[in-house]
A and B are shown apart, each in its own frame.
Chain A
Amino acid sequence: MEDKEFSGKVALVTGAANGIGRASAIKLAEKGAKIICSDVNEISGNKTVSEITENGGSAHFIRADVSNQAEVKSLMEQIIKSHNRLDFAFNNAGIGLFDKTIDQCTEEDYDKVMNINSKGVWLCMKYEIPIMLEQQSGCIVNAASQAGLVGGAGLSIYAASKHAVVGFTQSAALEYGAKGIRINCVAPGIIDTQINQPFWDDHPELYEEWKSNVPMKRYGTAEEVAEMVVWLCTKDASFVHGSSMPVDAGMLAR
């Protein structure tokens, strides 16, 4: 349903090829925003774009690896060139690592997860914020996680990378709150998306076991997280700033 708050506004979604990013891009487009879908996966990223445009929305794909400074800088330059503004940014690109204890993790694991999940969010904000400062308005939503607020066995590097996202969100909120930019993060619980698939493939027996541990006895959907992302971009959220918004069926309440 088109919403005049969003129509004509420009939204960037990183990690838009799949899962929560894809669902958020689609929902923002339904509201009337023009979407820039970014991802390292061109084929799936373009599928999200097609899905949006086939439904009458506006979207295009720009390939960028969020862990690469030159590519993130170029992404923002291309957005300015094509749209000359950036109203909403969902810094969502991330990867999972859910089944290695600290002693099993390699330096390569650490660098990869931290570079994408943590450095990627910092780099995106680094180049989004000057655009938003120039406009004196903007709204950033970062993808944290339940594991950004508590620990998880087998999740240490992932949890560290998501705790960093919370820290970036809170600190950036303090730096730019008085300058018209709102900055928050979402903290999803266990969402049934592709990021988890390799883990479920390796541990099929845990699929039902983990589900029974969720207070709602079900996993979340990408669309349910997308609802929170979109809501954080609305005027109703005008006083929500520096917050970590759980979408977790009560996991963090325990």
Chain B
Amino acid sequence: MTELLKNKVALITGGNSGIGKAISIRAAIEGAKVVIGARDETTGNETVNYILGKGGEASFFKADMSDPKQIDSLFEQTIKKYGEVDLACNNAATGAPTVPIHEIDSDIWNHMMSVNLTAPFLCMKHEIQHMLSKGGGSIVNMSSANGLIGTRGFTTYTANKHGLNGLTKSAALDYADQGIRINAVCPGGVETPMFNQLYGRHSEAWKKARDFHPIKRFGTPESIAGLVTFLWSDASSYVTGSCLSIDGGLTAQ
């Protein structure tokens, strides 16, 4: 354990798997008390147990991000147990249907909007309220390269993530002089178990996606966690309102 985030309470939505899991583990390594809010109890508890086994502090509270009541409950339980939220990563998201816009079912659009954009908004309402009462905090929204550029077949997801970047920028301006920093992280392709399952590791589609990154490799969940940790730490004290690319050069081309 290190002391970069010592004694801070860090809430990570979707902190049970993939990028979120790496963020939860890294936060614990840096000394934070970790709160994982997610739907899946099995992987949520697994991640908590992993952290506890390494001597860290973590809790899992079940919450489906498409249900505002469950988001309220996540924060109630967090405050009840830890009394505060110093750091937050609004990371939970749902994937993209790879169909063009005229084939997208409006129910799917509404569900994706609720999980990928409304939920971060609702989480930020809670987080900011607690951070204001404590005099500060740092929020990182998990956006995507699709928050900066478009991709064929990813219309809904792209709209969600552009929205999240907009939310990040305006909210950052609202609270910049009140000690709360708010940034977004915009990853390119990251090799999570889900990602490899979706593409099939080393398939032609997987290789094509990889080689679309000028660095000719995917990111790791741990490297995304590294940027989130930096943005949470005091080392980034003058960084707010930024939507930071972490994409192996994807959006530089």
B78 at the interface (CB under 8 A from A): no
- Docked Cα-Cα span, A253 to B177, in Å, equals 14
Point out the residues of chain A lying under 8 angstroms from B220, CB to CB: 238-239
B209-253 contacts to A, CB under 8 A, are 213-216, 219-220, 223-224, 226-227, 229-230, 235-242, 244-253
- Docked Cα-Cα span, A41 to B14, in Å, equals 52
Tell which of A221, A243, A249 touches B176, judged by Cβ atoms closer than 8 Å.
A249
Instruction: Check A227/B224 contact, CB under 8 A, given A215-B241, A216-B240.
Output: no
Point out the residues of chain A lying under 8 angstroms from B239, CB to CB: 228, 245-249
A137 at the interface (CB under 8 A from B): no
Main secondary structure of the interface of B (DSSP, over half): mixed
Closest to B242 in A: A246
- Docked Cα-Cα span, A52 to B241, in Å, equals 33
Contact between A242 and B173, CB atoms less than 8 A apart: no
A241 at the interface (CB under 8 A from B): yes
Contact between A253 and B227, CB atoms less than 8 A apart: no
A229-243 contacts to B, CB under 8 A, are 231, 234-243
**Distance (Å) between the CB of A183 and the closest chain B CB?**
9
Point out the residues of chain B lying under 8 angstroms from A250, CB to CB: 169, 172-173, 176, 240-242
B187 at the interface (CB under 8 A from A): yes
**Distance (Å) between the CB of A25 and the closest chain B CB?**
17
**Distance (Å) between the CB of B36 and the closest chain A CB?**
21
- Docked Cα-Cα span, A227 to B223, in Å, equals 17
A224 at the interface (CB under 8 A from B): yes
Task: With A242-B249, A254-B169 given, name 17 new contacts (CB 8 A).
Answer: A174-B214, A174-B252, A177-B216, A217-B177, A225-B238, A228-B236, A231-B236, A237-B226, A237-B227, A237-B246, A238-B219, A239-B248, A241-B247, A242-B251, A245-B242, A248-B241, A253-B172
Contact between A216 and B214, CB atoms less than 8 A apart: no
A153 at the interface (CB under 8 A from B): no
Instruction: Check A253/B173 contact, CB under 8 A, given A237-B226, A239-B224.
Output: yes
Closest to B252 in A: A242
B31 at the interface (CB under 8 A from A): no
Query: Can you list 5 A-B contacts with CB-CB less than 8 angstroms, sorted by A residue number?
Result: A169-B252, A177-B213, A215-B241, A216-B240, A251-B241
**Distance (Å) between the CB of B142 and the closest chain A CB?**
14
B188 at the interface (CB under 8 A from A): yes
Point out the residues of chain B lying under 8 angstroms from A231, CB to CB: 230, 235-236
Tell which of B169, B188, B236, B252 touches A239, judged by Cβ atoms closer than 8 Å.
B188
Instruction: Check A236/B214 contact, CB under 8 A, given A216-B176, A228-B236, A231-B235.
Output: no
- Docked Cα-Cα span, A243 to B227, in Å, equals 13
Point out the residues of chain B lying under 8 angstroms from A243, CB to CB: 244-247, 251-252
Closest to A167 in B: B252
Point out the residues of chain A lying under 8 angstroms from B215, CB to CB: 177-178, 182, 239, 241
Closest to A241 in B: B249
A45 at the interface (CB under 8 A from B): no
Point out the residues of chain A lying under 8 angstroms from B176, CB to CB: 215-217, 249-250
A170 at the interface (CB under 8 A from B): yes
Contact between A178 and B238, CB atoms less than 8 A apart: no
Contact between B177 and A216, CB atoms less than 8 A apart: yes
- Docked Cα-Cα span, A245 to B8, in Å, equals 25
Instruction: Check A242/B240 contact, CB under 8 A, given A177-B248, A234-B226, A237-B227.
Output: no
Point out the residues of chain A lying under 8 angstroms from B244, CB to CB: 240, 243, 245-246
Point out the residues of chain B lying under 8 angstroms from A220, CB to CB: 238
B87-111 contacts to A, CB under 8 A, are none
Point out the residues of chain A lying under 8 angstroms from B248, CB to CB: 177, 239, 241-242
Closest to B231 in A: A231
- Docked Cα-Cα span, A247 to B170, in Å, equals 17
A125 at the interface (CB under 8 A from B): no
Closest to B215 in A: A177
**Distance (Å) between the CB of A237 and the closest chain B CB?**
7
A195 at the interface (CB under 8 A from B): no
Contact between B242 and A170, CB atoms less than 8 A apart: no
A252 at the interface (CB under 8 A from B): yes
Point out the residues of chain A lying under 8 angstroms from B251, CB to CB: 242-243
- Docked Cα-Cα span, A243 to B112, in Å, equals 28
**A-B interface, 8 closest residue pairs, ranked by CB to CB distance from nearest:** A236-B226, A242-B252, A253-B241, A250-B241, A215-B176, A239-B219, A242-B249, A253-B169
- Docked Cα-Cα span, A254 to B252, in Å, equals 21
Closest to A217 in B: B177
A15 at the interface (CB under 8 A from B): no
Instruction: Check A240/B173 contact, CB under 8 A, given A178-B216, A231-B230.
Output: no
